[in-house]
Structure 1
């Protein structure tokens, strides 16, 4: 199969084709190949984000060329100290060199400057394999990439009708803490301050800007009533914790604990556990039958909290990079 790689900004049509491609890959592999931030970035023309598109020209039976078709996509994001990337290949065109071409281009692009005259980066690309596909591991190994990080999907059923209600769980926070649903106009700036503090060692999450937050709040699944913020009763202007649930209309029986944030100064008070049970009560009240969440496998404290709440590891995703011993 003949294809070409292009590094142009995406049109709205390109972005929609890539979303459809990602959906086909998800149906084939059972997991989302591009994370939410990557999907948000499809609309970005930031020079710190590179869009690499693999296109083929389909041939009609009489040999005439038809419209180009997007068969693969890679994205490189240089906005954080760790340069991250993701790629996806259409299931119908795998094992034809598209993935390798995208990966090699992404690795090279990560070393280049965003703007003419600036120095390039030398930290190297960190790229995710979300499906855990053996082919992805083999491709990474062939390019001298090794696993450097692992996150896991944890799930649990929600069939316990005797569990506490939302009101019961919120009462457990009182009287020292006040729990309310998110008001974006009131809380967005405070939420970002909390998020940056809670995830200061994870820039992919802690580096969110107001634009990143508002972009997610424009998605079809966002509902402010599915988000909770926690403040001290004696200091309502600062958040000590928050909970964000992702209840998608496409998967009405499954709810995701999307973001749990606890300020470092408030850790050790059991807030992570209380927020987890608040999430379960909320999802149960809204008819979800299964709860899921993603967490870093090295975050032993979080994994322990979630196991105690009935979650088990369902699958893992691996981030690859070149290290000092694997540089070509």
Structure 2
């Protein structure tokens, strides 16, 4: 195997990107996603890129002519948990040392532990992680299923009804339910009102596809299935089981399966989609088993590496 070519790219640090720089980063991410089959930056990073109030450290690698060749995003908002890192190198600039130069910049800029995502479990990311003494700490699977295959009939427990989310009215109750349902989840369970609002303001948000399970007698929220539709020019749209949660007190009654089936039916019948995806932690064996029984199969893996 040949050794990587030395890079002449320079790495720059800034706490704020201007609109042109943001557009360049998004174009770079699209190029890498098209080449690798998995987007290199997750939704959290993409939302923060577009939010001028979001605090972050940005590292950009540039060729001699100023062309953006690589990018690293450092999320420093939770010092106790450490710095979250996502990094991407343009496919045409790989094996030239650009990724390693960015990684050195990350190590110099970060304080405390590091948590770095490798979307798609790319071999180059795994090799770099080994070289830098990162440990493989968590695996997130993307599962997919066709919606052309039969979808089970939603069978809600007695006394439970479904309705659509009401933005502004259901926000506080949903945030409380989300925190209970994901009390042990490292990201989802810590959502704030600002985290919710930025997503409710996204162009893709569809309140009719945000299904709430409520107790008919009291109106209490018992569970939810928030669906999402990904639309991109040149590609067929795909639905997503964006977030699915059930109150711990309502476990064991089949509500999770019913909510999943109701959301799949919505994506198929109301949105006209023929495929759907979701993300689930490899370690969440109960959820993985549920989704596999509902016809989902593994599509790709996303790996979280830790250092420190």
Show the counterpart of 1:72. 70
CA-CA distance at 1:4 after TM superposition: 2.8
Measured against aligned partners, the alpha-carbon deviations of 1:229-269 in whole angstroms (never above 9, x if no partner) come to 12212221x42211111112325442111111112222222
- State the secondary structure of the residue aligned to 1:288: coil
Show the counterpart of 1:159. 148
Among candidates 187, 195, 214, match of residue 204 of structure 1: 187
Pair 1:311 & 2:296 matched: yes
- State the secondary structure of the residue aligned to 1:228: strand
Show the counterpart of 1:189. 172
- Name the CA distance, whole Å, in 2 between partners of 1:105 and 1:47: 20
Pair 1:298 & 2:297 matched: no
Aligned counterparts, 1:1-328, within 5 A: 1-44=8-51, 49-58=56-65, 68-80=66-78, 81-83=80-82, 84-111=84-111, 122=112, 124-160=113-149, 163=151, 169=154, 172-173=155-156, 175-236=158-219, 238-250=220-232, 251-285=235-269, 286-322=271-307
**Kept in 2: contact 1:6–1:54 (CA 8 A):** no
Show the counterpart of 2:4. none
- State the secondary structure of the residue aligned to 1:249: strand
- State the secondary structure of the residue aligned to 1:5: strand
CA-CA distance at 1:45 after TM superposition: 5.3
TM-score, L = length of structure 1: 0.84
CA-CA distance at 1:25 after TM superposition: 0.7
- Name the CA distance, whole Å, in 2 between partners of 1:277 and 1:50: 41
What's the RMSD between the two structures over aligned residues?
Answer: 1.9
- Name the CA distance, whole Å, in 1 between partners of 2:215 and 2:167: 19
Comparing 68-77 and 16-25, the one that deviates more: 68-77
TM-score, L = length of structure 2: 0.89
- State the secondary structure of the residue aligned to 1:220: coil
CA-CA distance at 1:296 after TM superposition: 0.1
CA-CA distance at 1:300 after TM superposition: 0.3
- Name the CA distance, whole Å, in 1 between partners of 2:183 and 2:77: 15
- Name the CA distance, whole Å, in 2 between partners of 1:40 and 1:22: 14
- Name the CA distance, whole Å, in 2 between partners of 1:51 and 1:176: 50
- State the secondary structure of the residue aligned to 1:318: strand
Measured against aligned partners, the alpha-carbon deviations of 1:48-102 in whole angstroms (never above 9, x if no partner) come to 52222223331xxxxxxxxx22221111223334232111111121222221122
**Kept in 1: contact 2:165–2:208 (CA 8 A):** yes
